[in-house]
Amino acid sequence: MAADRITLIPMHGYYGNYLMVVVLFVIGGAIVGGALLANRALRPHRPTPEKLTTYECGVDPVGEGWAQSYVRYYVFAYLYVVFAVDAVFLFPWATVFSAKGYGYVTLGEMFVFLAFIAAGLAYAWKKGVLSWV
């Protein structure tokens, strides 16, 4: 009997891999749930009227809850996400580009991808989205 190999759950075959994933999810959920329960059991709980008021950056909330905001801020956020995703795709491209047999194909695909990004940037610039005021 091999003493160096201890298996609690037999993980053989095709469904054994799925069983291992389910077991890991259950263990992870138990750890997160246990941490949340421990937090709830150990924290002090003394609600006062001051603690239950709405807090907005150190300023007492005054007026209605409805306020208009400019869409321009969201457009800047979307542009940031587009260029962050662009950077995420550039790093694996550099790795694949050095592999044999993929050089020119990968180079062409990356130029197509960068052309789409450039077209989106040119469109945003033409529409005046990139001007702050």
Model confidence pLDDT, tens digit, residues 28-43: 999 999 999 999 999 9
User: By C-alpha distance, which of 119, 97, 118 is closest to 107?
Assistant: 97
Assigned token pair, 87 = 């950077």
Helices (H), the chain: 14-42, 72-97, 103-127
pLDDT tens for 93-115 read 777 766 777 777 777 888 888 89
Contact (CB, 8 A) for 82 and 89: no
Q: Return the structure tokens found at 34.
A: 């246990």
Instruction: Examine the pLDDT at 6 and tell me if it is beyond 80.
Output: no
**Average pLDDT in the 64-82 region?**
75
Q: What is the mean pLDDT of the chain?
A: 79
Q: Helix or strand or coil: residue 32?
A: helix
Distances (CA, A) of 104 to 60, 93, 94, 100, 101: 61, 12, 12, 10, 8
Q: What is the pLDDT of residue 95?
A: 74
In the chain, the percentage of residues whose pLDDT exceeds 90 is 17
Mean pLDDT of 13-21: 80
CA distance 113 to 90: 10
Half-sphere exposure at residue 19, Cβ-oriented, CA atoms within 13 angstroms: 9
**Is residue 45 pLDDT above 60, yes or no?**
yes
